[in-house]
Homo-oligomer: A and B are copies of this chain.
Amino acid sequence: MPTDTTSARAPSGPRSLEHPDRADIRLAEVLHALADPMRLRIVRALAAAEGELNCADIELPVSKSTCTHHFRVLREHGVIRQLYRGTAKMNGLRREDLEELFPGLIDGVLRAAALQAGRLGEE
């Protein structure tokens, strides 16, 4: 049986991950987190796959350490949620929190990103 993630939510062990409380999320920081092509790509991928995604499921033209870095930025600024599931780490957008704080913002950014992607090389 794999690790029981139910009873081990955010333990203080070596594999704990800090997420900001909803009330601590700041607009400028969210925008900053989104203001990077690589991270925008990550967020788009996470939004597309409504469920959770493994880090490696998103192909990025950067090294693994850089990838980790971007995921951390997104997490620390409250854009995504990460949790360990065995050997992998699952990532998901914090849609509910963001919607509650800044209604429509994320969807606006995602729509804008999709539009621009279509306008440019249909990435």
Contacts and interface: CB of A to CB of B under 8 A. Distances in A.
Interface of A: 26-29, 31-32, 34-37, 40, 101-105, 107-109, 111-113, 115-116
Counting from the closest, the 6 A-B pairs by CB-CB distance are A102-B112, A31-B35, A32-B35, A108-B108, A105-B108, A104-B108
Given A105-B108, A109-B105, A28 B32 contact: no
Number of copies: 2
A79 to B, nearest CB: 12
Contacts of A27: 40, 109, 112-113, 116
Nearest to A108: B108
A102 B119 CA distance: 11
A34 B36 contact: no
Contacts of A102: 108, 111-112, 115-116
Contacts of A116: 26-27, 101-102
14 contacts: A28-B35, A31-B32, A31-B35, A31-B40, A31-B109, A32-B36, A35-B35, A101-B112, A103-B112, A103-B115, A104-B108, A104-B112, A105-B108, A105-B112
